[in-house]
Amino acid sequence: MFIKRNTALEKRIFILFFIITFILVITLIFIEWQLARYGINQYEDVNIKNTLSKLKIMQNEIKFEKQVLLKSLKTDIKITQAIQNENVELLNDHIINNYEQSNVNNLTILSKDRRYLFGVKWQLIDKYLSQIIRDVAKENAGNFIGNYGGKLFLINYDPIYVSNDVTELVAVLIMVDNFDLASLKLNSDFQLSLISYDDKLTENSLPGNLAKFSTNINEIVEKLADEKLDTAVQKLSIDNAVGMSIFYNLDDEPSGIFIVSYKRYINQFIQQSILIFILILLAITLIMVSLLGSWFSNTILIPVKYIRNKMQDISKNPSKLEPIEGQNYSGVLGDMVNSFNTMNIALSKHGQILREYKELTDNLDTGIFWLNNRFELILYNPSFVRILGIPEDQISHKNLSELMGLEDNKFAKLYDGPVTFSNLKIYPNNNLKYITMNIRAVTHEKRLKFYGSIIDVTKHIKEAEARKSLELELIKSNKLADIGKRIEGIVHNINSPLNTILGYAQLIKKNQKENTDIDRIIDAGKNIAQTVKGLLTKVKQSNISIDRNIDVNKLISQELDFCKHNLFFKHYVLLNTDFQKNLPNVTASYGDLSLCTANVINNAIQAMKDSVQKELSIKTYENSGFVYIEITDSGEGIPQKNIEKIFETYFSTKTEKSGTGFGLGLAITKNIIEKYRGEIKVESKLDHGTTFTLILPVTKGQ
């Protein structure tokens, strides 16, 4: 059955890797395909725009050439004088004799009253004459593309003004030239078209390959005209793309269109590439599945199985804890193995402590017992069995009242608080005995339990020595009850992370999903060691209430270790420490000083909950016989009006914001610090943070 499960697991892993690899390769090919399409589109756009740019250049060159000619005519004094004298014959002779015929063939000169002084009368000029006169009235020279009879013409004009007392228009020079592909001298591999535009393009006015797109092209022209734009590049279909340049007359109305028709080859590219893509897909998929499968099996699957087997061995026999040796793991697995070995060491130590506690309770004369909420015996020591005088196989999970021959309501007062039964008569197996019994109720994990101790006082009930002995035993029993509760807490803190480790290890075995499960195993193991170690250290130190020499740096470090159990502090707060080396000790109770530093640090962490920057800085140093502890946060700060109030009893800013806090922490801290002839100071700036400084005198003689 185990072999079949492993085989099925490996098949699922292979399928999972195949699917992941396939999706990855498909994604890469899709990206490659999109990049290819983008490259093709960019290539098309660049070629079309280059052709449109060449059109602009050639158009500007022709315009410039004609404008230079018009300027030379405009500045010719004899031409101006002939026009002013209305000597048409002199004007014609001078132009014909002094200018090349090819340059003035298309020249027309109109008087200010629109009479033709030179050149042939053109209906084309009459069509745009009003626009030209309107513009030259502003003393402007210019040019535009006009259309007439289905052809396009480049029209350049320049006014002649004379200045006497006032500036007066005397004539307009107009140069009309054919505007066609031959005059532009454009060289291109694309199909080029110059089309006259009056109102709308028809299929007959467009080249054959673009005739079916007449509606699309008209929409593009209308959109460009509305937006006063002159160029556009448009993909009409998967096979055709066009670049368009719109020419406007002086009324900003479209008069002509230059079209670059581009034949696209993207379909051919798709057909030729699809087979190559499929072959690449299959090859890469097989290679990646093989490599990833081999790597995963050797690097993760086999080591995890080994670690899982070791954990299963521990779960079957917890008393036999052995570290994982003889295997060299690195990375996350190495960290997990180290954490596992650290957990084993911690479990061994705490197992030894439990055995010592058991040995202690087993050798007490006092009977120790543990009841559930139905007063049935769950756990007890040998002295309890001896005192009752009942065989052990008749005690377990029996009702205590029935065993002792007591009334059922005898323990009803336990729900109100601890109860001590002194010189209680009991009748186990119908034998009379006198005992003193102490029982208390404890709620643990929402379940009610009872812990108690029992002493047999039958032989010594009337003797004073027996009573004194009983008092001592009762004191011991109370302490042992607390010890029992602490044992349970330790066992819980050990078993819960261990169960987490085993659970996630089994989850890896079943599902083999993401490696975050392994991280959680590591976190659980570390949590066990750190929590128990820190708790025991703090409890031992805090139980010593006498004043003694305290290493401030060490105390603060221990408090910061406990703060790491605060998820907000652990994941979001940046901690900076600057501890002076060889810092002198101070004289105080460890519990008092621990409480003071914990209060201030916890307040600092709470103050940064809503801050953008979350930084906690702690600095220690000695100056003039005093030890200084500076605790700085980057929180919201304290309003100046509250600086003096924060040390008052029951004053708290937390109550208004979160409904928590009683206003006792800083008040207690101030009283404790002043008790040891110290001082506490505070500096704060709104939206920047707060600094608390604890000042304590150095231990005498240092």
Q: What is the secondary structure of 490-558 as a DSSP string?
A: HHHHHHHHHHHHHHHHHHHHHH---THHHHHHHHHHHHHHHHHHHHHHHHHHHT--S-EEE-HHHHHHH
Cα–Cα distances in angstroms (integers) from residue 624 to residues 143, 621, 678, in the given order? 91, 10, 13
Q: Model confidence over 37-53: pLDDT tens digits?
A: 777 777 777 877 888 88
The residue whose two tokens read 């005992």 is 435
pLDDT interval class at 463 (50, 70, 90): low
Strand partners, 440: 451
Among 253-267, 287-301, 305-319, 491-505, where is mean pLDDT lowest?
A: 491-505
Given a cut of 80, whether residue 447 has pLDDT beyond it is: no
Among 143-152, 267-276, 668-677, where is mean pLDDT lowest?
A: 267-276
- Picking from 383, 390, 417, 393, the residue whose alpha carbon sits closest to that of residue 404 is 390
pLDDT, residue 672, reads 87
Among 64-68, 289-293, 546-550, 697-701, where is mean pLDDT lowest?
A: 289-293
pTM over 0.75: no
* Higher pLDDT pick, 50 / 626: 626
pLDDT interval class at 310 (50, 70, 90): confident
**Bridging pattern class, strands 574-579 and 615-623:** parallel
pLDDT, residue 266, reads 59
Q: What is the secondary structure of 31-71 as a DSSP string?
A: HHHHHHHHHHHHHHHHHHHHHHHHHHHHHHHHHHHHHHHHH
Across all residues in the chain, what is the average pLDDT?
Answer: 77
pLDDT, residue 319, reads 62
**Separation CA 44–CA 37 (nearest Å):** 11
The proportion of the chain whose per-residue pLDDT surpasses 90, expressed as a percent, equals: 10
Question: What average pLDDT does range 353-372 have in this prediction?
Answer: 82
Number of helices (H) and strands (E) in the chain: give both, helices first.
19, 21
Given a cut of 70, whether residue 536 has pLDDT beyond it is: no
DSSP H or E segment with residue 242: strand 240-248
pLDDT, residue 474, reads 40
